Each structure stands twice: as C-alpha cells, then as structure tokens.
Amino acid sequence: MSYDVLVIGGGPAGLSAALNVRSRGRSVLVVSNPIEENPLWKSENVDNHLGMPAMSGPDMLTAMRRHAEAAGAEFITGRALNAMYMMDQWYVSVGTEMYNARAVVLAAGVARGKKYPGETEFLGRGVSYCATCDGMLYRNRPVAVFGYADSARQEADFLSGIGCAVTYFDRPRTCAISGENQVQAVTCDGVTAKVDCVFILRPAVAPTELFPGLAVENSFVTVDRRMATNLPGLFAAGDCTGGPLQVSKAVGEGLIAGQSAAAFAAAQK
C-alpha cells in the first residue's frame, strides 16, 4: 500500500512525526517494533517532559500512541529491514511485505550493539536478519536464533514450526560465527552450536544499513534544520540524530520532521 509518509520507529519522535503528518492532512504509516520493546517502556518515572510530570514510560508512550492513532496515523508492528528510493518513491521492506511512500521519517532511536565476528562475512551465506523472510531456505535444518527482544521468540517458533532444530540464544553478549563458505557453527558466551544458519534479530538496524549512502557523524544521522538528511525525501528525528537523548528533544524533532516530510510529499504530487 502507498502512503504520503512512512515513519520508521514508534517512539516519541516517530509518534510526534506521525501526528504532525496527519495535522497536514497527509497519510502516514508507522512501522515499529512492539511498544513494550521501546526503551522508554522501562522507565518508571519520566519527570522532565513538560506538562506530564511523574509519568511512567509506559503511560507516556501509550498516551502518545493513542494521540497519533486518534489523528488517523496507521500502524504496523515489525522491523524495517531494507529501504530503497526509486522513481520518486521510497520502498521499505518489513518482513516479507513491502510498503511505499513519497517521504520517510527515520525515528529508530539508537542502534545498540556491535556486529559479531563473521557476521558481515557470512551475510547471505548463513547469516540472516529475518526468520520469516529466509527461514524456508533452512527448513528442517539446524539453525540458531540470537534474540534481543521477546518478539524474537515468535520468529524462533516460526522456524521450529517449519521443522528447524532451533538453538535459541537469549540476549547473548559475546558471539562468533564460523564456517568455510557457509556458516557451520556459532559460539555464544562459551556455548557452541553446529548450525547452517543464524538469525540475528536485533530490534534496531543501524541507519546506514537501512539507508546505504546516508550521511552520519559518530553513528548519528546528519540532519539540517528541517531534519532533512542527505538522501531525497528522507528525514530523521529523535535519538538517532544525536544528543541530548531525551523525550522532549525527540518530540520536537519529530514535529519538524513530520511537517517537512508532509511538505515534501505534497510537492511530489
């Protein structure tokens, strides 16, 4: 389905962007991991967001999401895995589905965690970031899943359901991936499993992996005062653009990015 604006990330920045796209009368789809996996969900008390004193993270996120929903923003739960720009449209893949929009707001927060030894080397040869996309290639074979959020268990269940013998590593720290031409084994925190594929299910994807060619500085997305990046029709907001890593800054940048993206989409028509 086609939208004016697609927002990646359902935290304060993404929800603010979505609300402000709707305020400009444009359609918007928010793609995000489950709300309970947002980092702010862990906060018992957010005390520095103006007008919402002593609110818990879950209450604040729920209120923000309801506001964006009431304004007409649409939502899907999932991880954006790839994006490409063709013929004045962005195409974003989420699991096995593809969505397109005239403009995109990247509001994916901070991508934590470094790549493991062997991860880049074996990408596409036994390293995958999406069980539902690539699982059938490894049907009835031994696989590993590195899960960093509760929703990763569902992807592991999907793999078990198609006959894979799944070794699940829950939030592993030190891992290495080895093999010759293909993955043959993974070792995490001292435990080795012989597998044909490892599914690495991090909640966030580094901005430069999602958007090849995106300008970053110290891993943060470079933006101008309109929150525009160096790529056409791509705007960014919130923690992914740098500090202070705080709710109010994310909401403010989301507002600007949403308005800029809506204006960009309108100009394309």
Residues at the site binding ligand FAD, with contacts judged by CB under 6 A? 8-14, 31-33, 37-40, 42-43, 46-49, 79-80, 107-109, 203-205, 238-239, 245-248, 250
Closer residue to ligand FAD in complex, CB, 167/229: 229
Instruction: Give burial (CB, 10 Å; 0-12/13-18/19+) of 181.
Output: exposed
Beta carbon of residue 100, minimum distance to ligand FAD (angstroms, whole number): 16
Q: How far is the CB of 179 from ligand FAD (least distance, A)?
A: 27
Rank residues 180 and 217 by Cβ distance to ligand FAD and give the closer one: 217
Least Å from the CB of residue 151 to ligand FAD: 10
DSSP of the chain: -EEEEEEE--SHHHHHHHHHHHHTT--EEEEES-GGGSGGGG-S-B--STT-TTB-HHHHHHHHHHHHHHTT-EEEES-EEEEEEETTEEEEEETTEEEEEEEEEE-------PPPTTTTTTBTTTEES-HHHHGGGGTTSEEEEEE-STTHHHHHHHHHHTT-EEEEEES-SSEEEEESSSEEEEEETTEEEE-SEEEEE-S---HHHHSTT--EETTEEP--TT-B-SSTTEEE-GGGG-SS--HHHHHHHHHHHHHHHHHHHHHH-
* C-beta of 70 vs 245, nearer to ligand FAD: 245
Sole residue written with tokens 């359609």: 27
Between 35 and 198, name the residue whose CB sits nearer to ligand FAD: 35
Shortest Å distance, C-beta 185 to ligand FAD: 28
Q: Which is nearer to ligand FAD, 152 or 250 (CB)?
A: 250
- Supply the minimum distance, in Å, between the C-beta of residue 243 and ligand FAD: 9
Q: What tokens appear for 259 in the block?
A: 């308005």
Nearer to ligand FAD, 22 or 196 (CB): 22
Angle at 150 between CA 212 and CA 82, to 5 degrees: 15
Nearer to ligand FAD, 107 or 262 (CB): 107
CB of 18 to ligand FAD, least distance (A): 11
- Shortest separation between residue 257's beta carbon and ligand FAD, angstroms: 10
